[in-house]
Structure 1
Amino acid sequence: MIARSVILAFLLVLAQSTAMQNVIEIANSGEFSVLNTLLEHTAEPEGEPFLQSIFQENRPLTLFFARDAGFSELKASQYLAKLMLPSYRMHLYSLMSYQIADQSMKEVLEQPSNQNKRFSTQNLCGANIVIYRETDTTITVDMDNNESPAAMGNPIPTSDNAMVVPTDNVMFPDWITMDLYAFMLEHDAYTSISTFTTFSSLLVAGNMDDTVRESTDLTLFAPVNQGLSNDLVEDLLERPDALTDFLKHHMMAEVFNVRDLTEVQLLHTVLGECILANPTEKRGVLIGESQLKGYQLVREGVLYKISDALIPPTWR
């Protein structure tokens, strides 16, 4: 029984390796050179290559490979080069995960084109995908009700569980066109619990909302409403200079990647002060004395949701 288990494990690893190698060969075919370059730069937080990690488990996968022309918008904005920077590793990982469905398209391929049955799944980021066959050679991909240009031609099987679908355009996550300030406003507009309304109001009062909108590389630590006391807010609104300093202390003029944080790191704010980012076992990541509650990627950087306001050291 042990020998049989070893043989089965070996065959499984061989099948995974073969599927991954087939995908790599397709990516290297010349038609997907931009995507291939992005894949080569994409890695897990632990440093493991992206493709290797997703093929470790024997699960069905559909990989949507955009042809080079599909990246024209990113090239024109020079954002493509930015995705290669270490500080944008989270963005690149998200973009690549967005192109992969955690399910095979076999059901879609086997149905007659005149049935046009819609097939629902999700990508590795959790976004909804609806796939349906329009003609014998055209498959359309609908991402969260935002229709993507049709995937032309039949998918390319790489194994029993994986296949590559050539597409006309790369599929964009919401953050690719979302700026920090817009995210805070939309988050509070479309959720039942307002989260950033107080901090957003302070940005407007301190004339810093345009600074946030126009930044090209920015990390913003946004305290939730409960983390900003009425007394603190009233005091800041009465002292414009203090309000400006307070807001600058919640910003970094670079992209801070929390997924790379393995030990205490000193962060430099726009104010010129320092705060500690500390990965603790019991409380998770602490930014100063504030607990990190989550993050949202946006086009120009990242927004971190924190539990409490960050008070400049010189105020104490």
Structure 2
Amino acid sequence: MKREFKIIFTAAILTLAVSCNSNEEPKTVSPETAANTGAGQSAVQDDQSAKNVVQVAVGSKDHTTLVTALKAADLVDALSNAGPFTVFAPTNAAFDKLPAGTVDGLLKPEKKDALTDILQYHVSVGVFKEDMLQDGQVIGQVNGGNISISKKDGKIMVNGTANVIAAIPASNGIVYVIDQVLLPPPAQK
């Protein structure tokens, strides 16, 4: 019995030694490595798993303004975490509909709080799949505000103005592509 244990133990050590001496480059950065370098969840590289909500946006040529805004508001790591999230993602064309200078103004460091509020108004905690969305449904957003869903003839709208163009599943939630930027109602005093 003792001899069998020694053989198994020796085999395990040899296997470990051989695998540690492999010349193969790692394909991913572990969460521990990311944490030790001070980088957040967004620094973890994983080319094999499904994309998270941030990676979906980064991979879309129609969401470069949104990605720039997420970076300016320091929300990339938060939205790269496990979630689950429902993100209503305005396209570049949606941002272009805002009054001239609005986006540039919001990207300034002194406007970070306002930008964060707007971006968080586009995010819900939880996954609201298309078949779960109902006409008249009110959904709480991360910024503390609420959005309302309207559904007619299979078409989904948010706050009566933003049309849902597409729904893209992500590893940590779902991304709804929308054609308007959602602006939170003014804070009530």
> TM-score interval w.r.t. the shorter chain?
0.5 to 0.7
- Corresponding residue for residue 73 of structure 2: 206
Residue 284 of structure 1, CA deviation: 1.8
In the TM superposition, what is the alpha-carbon distance from 1:176 to its structure 2 partner? 5.3
Correspondence list, 1:115-264, <5 A = 177-186=50-59, 188=60, 194-229=61-96, 230-238=100-108, 239-264=111-136
8 Å contact 1:294–1:305 — kept in the other structure?
yes
Q: Secondary structure at the match of 1:256?
A: coil
1:175/1:298 contact within 8 Å kept: no
Contact 2:125 / 2:141 at 8 angstroms: preserved in 1? Answer: yes
Greater RCO, 1 or 2 (C-alpha within 8 Å, sep 6+): 2
- 1:14-73 Cα deviation digits (max 9, x unpaired): xxxxxxxxxxxxxxxxxxxxxxxxxxxxxxxxxxxxxxxxxxxxxxxxxxxxxxxxxxxx
- What does residue 286 of structure 1 align with? 157
| Alignment match, 1:314 | 186
Structure 2 CA distance for partners of 1:308 and 1:315, relative to 1, 3 Å = farther
- For 2:113 and 2:77, how far apart are their aligned partners in 1? 17
Per-residue deviation, 1:257 = 1.6
Residue 33 (structure 2) aligns with: none
Question: Is the Cα–Cα contact under 8 Å of residues 206 and 240 in structure 1 kept in the other structure?
Answer: yes
More strand by share: 1
Instruction: Give the alignment's TM-score, normalised by structure 1.
Output: 0.40
Instruction: Give CA-to-partner distance per residue, 1:129-149, whole Å, 9 cap, x none.
Output: xxxxxxxxxxxxxxxxxxxxx
Which amino acid counterpart does residue 75 of structure 2 have in structure 1? Answer: M
Aligned residues: 136
Give the whole-Å Cα distance in 1 for the aligned partners of 2:181 and 2:52. Answer: 21
Change (3 A) 1:256 1:204: same
In structure 1, distance between residues paired with 2:104 and 2:169: 30
Structure 1: runs of 5+ lacking an equivalent: 1-173, 189-193
1:200 Cα deviation after fit: 0.7
Cα deviation for residue 259 of structure 1 reads 1.6
Flag as ranges the 4+ runs of structure 1 deviating above 4 A: none
Q: Distance in 1 between matches of 2:72 and 2:134?
A: 36
Q: Distance in 2 between matches of 1:196 and 1:271?
A: 21
CA distance in 2 between partners of 1:305 and 1:184 (Å): 9
CA distance, structure 1, for counterparts of residue 156 and residue 135 of structure 2: 10
Alpha-carbon distance in 2 for matches of 1:254, 1:269: 10
Whether contact under 8 Å (2:166, 2:177) holds in the other structure is yes
Residue 177 of structure 1 aligns with an amino acid whose one-letter code is A
Deviation readout 1:290-310 (Å, 9 max, x if unpaired): 000001001111011000100
**Identity percentage of aligned residues:** 25
RMSD: 2.2
SS of corresponding position for 2:138: strand
> CA separation in 2, counterparts of 1:249 and 1:204?
16
